[in-house]
Amino acid sequence: MKIGLILFVFLIIGFIYGYDWTPVDQVLENAVKEKAFPGCTALVGSSEGVIYAKPFGYYTYGLPAPVTHTNPAVQMDTMYDLASLTKVVATTTAVMQFYQRGELDLNTKLIDPKLLGEKYNNNGKDQITVRNLLLHNAGFPPDPVPDYWNKTFGCPEAQKYYPPEDFNCRAKIYSSVMTQTLIYPTGSKYIYSDLSMITMMYVVGKLAHDLKYITPEDLDPICVANSSINVNDLNGLEQCYYEAYVRIFVLSPLNTQRTMFRPNVSLWGDCSPTENDTWFRHQVIEGFVHDGNAYIMGGISGHAGLFSISQDLGYLMEKLVFAPEDSNYVNKTTVELFTTIYNETQSSRALGWDTNLENYYCGDLSQKTFCHTGFTGTSICADPTRKLYAILLTARVYPTRENNLIRKVRTQFGTAVQQVFDQDEKNN
């Protein structure tokens, strides 16, 4: 009798939420089996809330992970290094907020005294606007040359065999961003560049400071250690104002539980390990940022550095996909502006966000899907036509970045999510 009742309840739930997620499970189970990555968490949300959330696999392919000395199974609260998802989750959301409040016009030039000012006015950078940074068409090479972590750049810590993650190279890196050279005329073409969002970090930090969203008491003490605050010339300390702005105005309103730059040592064992770095840090990376430039910057940057879990990213996607017109966080008009393709002739990019033009890496989700990936193996796809978002967090770079099976898995995952979702729409 009781069992009959339970079955009946299951049938009713099955009828209302009639998704059969087998195709999605199969894509991710196969991915682990084929060693596209050792483990992952996946989460899908729609107007019904979270409709799929599942962990797969382990931290490694069998070897003990560096911090726990065991090989834990991935849980939903396993933290992943987001890499370039930092660009959209942290930096772009912050820019959206300044834009929406009328505090940042996207056509403002970076040499404007309200932004980076005269010290940026060199090497042909006088035409670059905020919009150029968001579109990755400012004129930058893909990465700094040489990279900030490269010995030849000259950060003292980078000369060491096990370089520490600290902020001692802040002024040198800031000065290098200010005097950065261009490799093509501003606006003329698209080259995806970490320098776009490293530069944007200083813009966000400067605004957060000047408009008094952040005061010195809000700053992370570790970020400002060894620095005296000169209010007229932050000289790179914008980095700390950026971190505090993201923490207080982007993440805190979402009630995120496990999203942060520089996770404390006590959390390192909860992070999925990334690469076996044999040329810079000389260890298997777990708990501190994989990206070499973000690392030598102290773990905080506009292009990489954030760690997170799928549920936390779901809270953000909820705000973006279902933004009401009157939201103070980011409203519908703002979201549409930042997530709609800008110039299809030039690139698939929206502002900060990318799009799934020509069914790029979100598979058969709509071409209007706004999306981004992270080098470590992370991705977000949000389909505004279906009101559906899909998050996949992996550490595909474990133990080596040479493994690119993730490309195939990303499109398979997007397509499987689309099929399951559309199948259910048909059934109802």
Ligand X SMILES: *[C@@H]1O[C@H](CO)[C@@H](O)[C@H](O)[C@H]1NC(C)=O
Residues forming contacts to ligand X in the complex (CB under 6 A) are 63, 100, 145-146, 150, 152, 166-168, 189, 222, 225-226, 264-266, 276, 278-279, 284, 325-326, 331, 333-334, 337, 343, 345-346, 399
Instruction: Give the integer Cα–Cα distance in Å for 134 and 350.
Output: 8
Pull the structure tokens for residue 258.
Answer: 């496990």
Considering beta carbons, is residue 12 or 265 the nearer one to ligand X?
Answer: 265
Please, what is the minimum distance in Å from the beta carbon of residue 199 to ligand X? 20
CA angle 170, 176, 179 (to 5 degrees): 145
Pull the structure tokens for residue 398.
Answer: 């474990």
Residue 41 near residue 78 (C-beta atoms within 8 A): yes
Please, what is the minimum distance in Å from the beta carbon of residue 389 to ligand X? 21
Residue 150 near residue 135 (C-beta atoms within 8 A): no
Considering beta carbons, is residue 326 or 425 the nearer one to ligand X?
Answer: 326
Considering beta carbons, is residue 23 or 384 the nearer one to ligand X?
Answer: 384
Instruction: Give the integer Cα–Cα distance in Å for 356 and 359.
Output: 5
Instruction: Give the integer Cα–Cα distance in Å for 9 and 115.
Output: 59
Please, what is the minimum distance in Å from the beta carbon of residue 240 to ligand X? 11
Residue 308 near residue 376 (C-beta atoms within 8 A): no
Please, what is the minimum distance in Å from the beta carbon of residue 88 to ligand X? 17
Considering beta carbons, is residue 50 or 63 the nearer one to ligand X?
Answer: 63
Pull the structure tokens for residue 359.
Answer: 């069914």
Considering beta carbons, is residue 24 or 297 the nearer one to ligand X?
Answer: 297
- The amino acid at 89: V
Please, what is the minimum distance in Å from the beta carbon of residue 123 to ligand X? 17
Please, what is the minimum distance in Å from the beta carbon of residue 257 to ligand X? 14
- CA 284 vs. chain centroid, Å, equals 21
Q: How many other C-beta atoms are found inside a 10 Å radius of the C-beta of residue 101? A: 12
Please, what is the minimum distance in Å from the beta carbon of residue 222 to ligand X? 5
Considering beta carbons, is residue 194 or 364 the nearer one to ligand X?
Answer: 194
Please, what is the minimum distance in Å from the beta carbon of residue 154 to ligand X? 11
Strand partners of residue 394: 40
Output the CA torsion sign for 394, 135, 149, 168.
negative
Least Cα distance to 294 among 269, 262, 258 occurs for: 262
Considering beta carbons, is residue 40 or 224 the nearer one to ligand X?
Answer: 224
Location of structure tokens 């064992």: 269
Considering beta carbons, is residue 4 or 62 the nearer one to ligand X?
Answer: 62
Considering beta carbons, is residue 16 or 279 the nearer one to ligand X?
Answer: 279
- The amino acid at 206: K
Please, what is the minimum distance in Å from the beta carbon of residue 144 to ligand X? 10
Which residues in 222-240 are b (16+ Cβ under 10 Å) and which e?
Answer: bbbeebeeeeeebbbbbbb
Which residues in 241-272 are b (16+ Cβ under 10 Å) and which e?
Answer: bbbbbbbebbbeebebebbbbbbeeeebbbbb
Considering beta carbons, is residue 24 or 67 the nearer one to ligand X?
Answer: 67
Please, what is the minimum distance in Å from the beta carbon of residue 259 to ligand X? 15
Residue 322 near residue 46 (C-beta atoms within 8 A): no
